Amino acid sequence: MSSATITTAKPFGALAEFGNPAELYHACEKVRDEGFSVWDAHTPFPVHGLEDAMGAPRSKVPWISLVFALFGGTIPAFALQSWVAVEGSRQVISGKPMLSWQAFIPVTFEVSVLLGAVGALLGMLMINRLPQLYHSLFRSERFERFSDDKFFISIESRDPKFDAEGTVAFLQSLGSSHVELVED
């Protein structure tokens, strides 16, 4: 007597393979126009203008970096130096005023730059949800070539418009060379 294994694994999404950046670019425009919202394009190198074709919003990383830089320049740098000069270590040096703020500018600038860079790094990691040691797309053998010479679009099953058969048919209509469902 043989037993059959029925897999009820929920698909992660659909993965379509394209041969060159131009095909991928036009396919991204069509996926965007179709109304999909939870999808991504995977390329071995940066493709100029792809974020516009995808309809991606502007990054929030510059704003996060600005907040960190302003915080770093005011609280830790300038405020600490001012407090030390006026309250913490009262010393009159060469008859200068207690709060000679001009001397604080180099340190304030350097701390602002340092914390701005830290903010950019942390913001990028947070927005990109990194480090991510595993992704369901790694189950696809064809996807291994995304960092070599192939271009892919993945549409996740959590997208409101995702329908396994309909999404696969739509991706095939875009001229992809291969489309597959990837298990979660």
80-99 pLDDT, tens digit each: 988 988 888 888 878 888 88
Residues 6+ apart with CB under 8 A from 130: 124
Residues 68 and 99 in one domain: yes
Upper half-sphere CA count for residue 141 (Cβ side, 13 Å): 0
CB neighbours of residue 105 within 10 Å: 13
- Whichever domain contains 144, its CATH number is 3.30.70
23-69 pLDDT, tens digit each: 999 999 999 999 999 999 999 999 999 999 999 999 999 999 999 99
Q: Tell me the C-alpha distance between 139 and 107, whole Å.
A: 50
Residue 3 belongs to a domain: no
What is the SS3 assignment for 76? helix
Residue 147 belongs to a domain: yes
Residues 51 and 102 in one domain: no
Residue 2 belongs to a domain: no
Q: What's the chain's length in residues?
A: 184
145-166 pLDDT, tens digit each: 888 999 999 999 999 999 999 9
As for how many domains the chain has, the answer is 2
- Pairs from 63-67 (Cβ < 8 Å, separation ≥ 24): 64/119, 64/120, 64/122, 64/123, 64/126, 65/116, 65/117, 65/119, 65/120, 65/123, 66/116, 66/119, 67/119
Q: What pTM was computed for the model? A: 0.77
Last residue of a domain, one of 127, 149, 171: 127
- Reference 134, options 180, 72, 182; nearest CA is 182
Last residue of a domain, one of 127, 148, 171: 127
Q: Tell me the C-alpha distance between 147 and 137, whole Å.
A: 13
Residue 5 belongs to a domain: no
Task: For residue 104, give its domain range.
Answer: 61-127
Judge residue 2's burial from the number of C-beta atoms within 10 Å of its C-beta, 0-12 exposed, 13-18 middle, 19 or more buried.
exposed
Q: Is the predicted pLDDT of residue 136 greater than 80, yes or no? A: yes
Last residue of a domain, one of 88, 103, 127: 127
Residues 45 and 65 in one domain: no
